[in-house]
Amino acid sequence: MIYFTHNDTEMKVQVPFQQLLMLVRTLTPAQKARLRKELADEAEPVVKQSRLTELLLNGPVLTEEQISTIEETRKSINQWRTKSL
């Protein structure tokens, strides 16, 4: 089923695909270009992000100083763990 809307009037028309294809093939090059543009504008999907992705992208970020502190702490812990008793 294909829906047409023109000047706030909605019309439902059932057109078999082959007939629609035949109609498109009869369009002038300018009309085909306009149709391509309309379809391309409509076809751009809106990417909906999951709540987790949204949380991760908008969440807090560590500063370089915090990252450095974490690395130093890890290094100290690793040295302490590998020391023989």
- Say yes or no to pLDDT of 45 above 70: no
For residue 70, what pLDDT is reported? 95
- Mean pLDDT throughout 72-83? 88
The answer to whether the predicted template modeling score (pTM) of the entire model surpasses 0.85 is no
Q: Strands of 1-85 (E only): list them.
A: 2-6, 9-13
- Say yes or no to pLDDT of 1 above 60: no
**Structure tokens belonging to residue 14:** 């059932």
Share the mean pLDDT of the chain. Answer: 83
CA dist list (Å): 50 to 9, 26, 44, 79: 36, 43, 19, 40
